[in-house]
Amino acid sequence: MSIGLLIFVFVLAIFLGVELITKVPSQLHTPLMSGTNAISGITIVGALTAAGTGADTVASIVGTVALILATINVVGGYLVTNRMLAMFKRKDKEQK
Amino acid sequence: MTDYIEILIDLGYVVASILFILGIKMLGRPERARRGNLVSALGMLIAVVSALLECCLSFSWVIVGMVVGASIGVIAARTVKMTSMPQMVAILNGFGGLASLLVGWENYHSSPDSNLFITIAILLAVLIGGVAFSGSVIAYGKLSQRLSGKPIFFYSQQVVNGTIIVAILLCGAIFAYNPAASFSYVIFIVIIGLALILGVLGVIPIGGADMPVIIALLNSYSGLAASAAGFIILNNVLIVAGALVGASGLILTGIMCKAMNRSLANVLFGGLQAAVSKEGTGEVQGEPHPITPEDAYYILEAARSVVFVPGYGMAVAQAQHAVRELGEILEDNGAEVRYAIHPVAGRMPGHMNVLLAEANVVYEQLAEMDHVNPIMETIDVCVVIGANDVVNPAAREIASSPIYGMPVINADKAKTVIILKRSMAAGFAGVDNPLFVKENARMLFGDAKASLQQLIAEFKEA
């Protein structure tokens, strides 16, 4: 893949991100933050490769530690966000 | 055959990216937020499965890593208390940053002779990831009160920071020039160390009430670090997802800064001025009017409309359930009850909303500052619970005040204000609060939770 194309994708994604979240009610700031935080755990894809193809033991260990941390970030992030969002209730739902 | 698998893997990454985008979009709308989070989690699952199809020569390390990580993640997410949510978010964020740093390290270790582009990407992943990690750890320490929440300054801090940045640039240049040389590995480790130190030094001068800004900013960093990792392994899904998080973190940072009427530079470097100007403005005149829970009961009993303004003090006292209980009693008593929430109340963006949601306060009763201020004059009683700077009328009235110009909830405009507070101490900003001595203000001293419980008891006895 050409370098130019990667940078192109990066810049477009930044603009897309800005467009997506300019108007978020403050009620959702924490879940938005922890939810996007879980997405930043996407580095798990890099960590998988690192842990699975390490050139030697040092590389495998470094990669595995990266994988552990990224997995905590992903799993913990999504679960905690889900827990928070489950608490946000509206009146009509509560009466059911 | 292998071609088909490759296409399948690439399609998996495309689908994952789409699901992240949809998920983030849905996270911004209250009625769809929960599904949005699930959509984004599905995207992550697809990305992980795709990666597993292409990643691995041996699965032993991979299985160990995923099982250990997932177990810790599940346990932490299940057991964390809602009041500990700010530090939880901070530490998860730090883990993401450190993971990106290690991905960079592993790639350098395995193939030190990569081209210049990938070498620069490795440097960026290590730098941004390192700053995000150590910064988040310090933020975690401050939020969980293992470290002092006060801003820490030392002599010529800016000079030290500047020197470190110059050193990083120099080391980076030497490293990028010949990454495969034997001394370059040493330089690489030095760069990691410097990045970690920079993260620590960047966050220690940030005081408690500025935490929402720094948490949002660190969130953005960990996204950008993931993006940099994507440039290393030439993978679009990392680049897209990381950039989305980077952008969203920056926007949240901007919202938080705006809510404090300060620039990002002022938050990052300006704590010093705030601390210095502390002495000049402490000329609030007048006496506070302390009341007993019984007096407060009579005031609230007669009120037809009540607005609660929660602040960090409510989180510290864990008073959210007591607040909700009192709110329900007042509603049964015929009053209209609302909760007015300042964007930077608490220690992370949306902190108060999470706590009140935990206590089963319904969404409809929560009001944003801009909606509640215009009707404040019609409110009978405004109850301030552990909030200080966000209700300080000095921000409107006293041009010399350090917080002058910050948008605040106009609690003082209500007919009566009851302030639950432990003492007359100034808030985080170190600014005296003229609200406390206003004619219509009543101080109910003591622990917020205990005071609320006494009030509830008064109502139950009556």
pLDDT value for B19: 96
Which pair of tokens denotes residue B394? 């000095």
In this prediction, residue B199 has a pLDDT band, given cuts at 50, 70 and 90, of very high
ipTM confidence: 0.93
* Residue B44 touches partner A, C-beta closer than 8 Å: yes
Question: At a CB cut-off of 8 Å and minimum separation 6, what does B298 contact?
Answer: none
Region of residue B347 (phi > 0: left; psi between -120 and 50: alpha; otherwise: beta): alpha
- Three-state DSSP class for residue B367: strand
Look at residues A50, A81, A20 and name the one whose alpha carbon lies nearest to residue B103.
A50
Number of neighbouring beta carbons within 10 Å of residue B56: 17
Which of A12, A36, A58 to substitute to test the interface with B, most B CBs within 10 Å? A36
Contacts of B214 in chain A (CB under 8 A): none
What residues form DSSP beta bridges with B180?
A: none
pLDDT above 90 coverage of chain A, percent:
54
If DSSP states are collapsed to H, E and C, what string results for chain A? CCHHHHHHHHHHHHHHHHHHCCCCCHHHHHHHHHHHHHHHHHHHHHHHHHHHCCCCHHHHHHHHHHHHHHHHHHHHHHHHHHHHHHHCCCHHHHHC
B40: nearest CB among A39, A43, A83 = A39
Residue among B10, B295, B380, B389 flagged as catalytic: B389
Length of chain B: 462
pLDDT above 70 coverage of chain B, percent:
95
Element (H, E) at B340: strand B336-341
Under 8 Å between Cβ of A47 and B52: no
**pLDDT tens, B132-191?**
999 999 999 988 888 877 777 777 778 888 899 999 999 999 999 988 888 889 999 999
d(CA B67, CA A27): 34
**pLDDT tens, B351-368?**
898 899 888 888 888 888
Residues B52-56 have a mean pLDDT of 83
* Min distance A12 CA to chain B CA atoms (Å): 8
Residues B114-138 have a mean pLDDT of 94
Q: In terms of C-beta density within 10 A (0-12 exposed, 13-18 middle, 19 or more buried), how is residue B248 classed?
A: buried
Residues B435-452 have a mean pLDDT of 88
**pLDDT tens, B393-423?**
888 888 877 778 888 999 889 999 999 888 7
pLDDT value for B1: 55
pLDDT value for B123: 95
Under 8 Å between Cβ of B125 and B232: yes
**pLDDT tens, B293-323?**
888 899 988 889 999 999 988 988 889 999 9
Q: Please determine, for residue B280, whether its predicted confidence score (pLDDT) is greater than 80.
A: no
In this prediction, residue B55 has a pLDDT band, given cuts at 50, 70 and 90, of confident
Whether B24 and A35 lie within 8 Å, measured CB to CB:
yes
User: Model's pTM, two decimal places?
Assistant: 0.88
What residues form DSSP beta bridges with B418?
A: B383, B442
Look at residues B400, B367, B365, B388 and name the one whose alpha carbon lies nearest to residue B434.
B388
Nearest CA in chain B to A68: B69
Look at residues B458, B422, B442 and name the one whose alpha carbon lies nearest to residue B325.
B458
pLDDT value for B95: 96
Structural domains of chain B sorted by starting position, each given as residue range(s) with its CATH number in brackets: 80-274 (no CATH), 284-461 (3.40.50.1220)
**pLDDT tens, B263-277?**
888 777 765 444 444
Q: Please determine, for residue A95, whether its predicted confidence score (pLDDT) is greater than 90.
A: no
Query: What distances in angstroms separate CA A40 from CA A74, B130, B218, B289, one per listed residue?
Result: 8, 14, 11, 50
CA triplet B308, B314, B318: central angle to 5 degrees?
130
pLDDT value for B428: 62
pLDDT value for B317: 86
**pLDDT tens, A32-76?**
999 999 999 999 999 998 888 877 888 989 999 999 999 999 999
Whether B85 and A84 lie within 8 Å, measured CB to CB:
yes
pLDDT value for B260: 82
Query: What distances in angstroms separate CA B233 from CA B27, B112, B405, B409, one per listed residue?
Result: 29, 14, 47, 48
d(CA B245, CA B110): 28
pLDDT value for B283: 54
pLDDT value for A91: 59
Under 8 Å between Cβ of A17 and B24: yes
Whether A17 and B95 lie within 8 Å, measured CB to CB:
no
Phi, psi dihedral angles at B445 (to 5 degrees): -75, 150
Which pair of tokens denotes residue B265? 């530079």
Which residue is associated with the tokens 């691995």?
Answer: B56
d(CA B362, CA A95): 11
Whether B76 and A76 lie within 8 Å, measured CB to CB:
yes
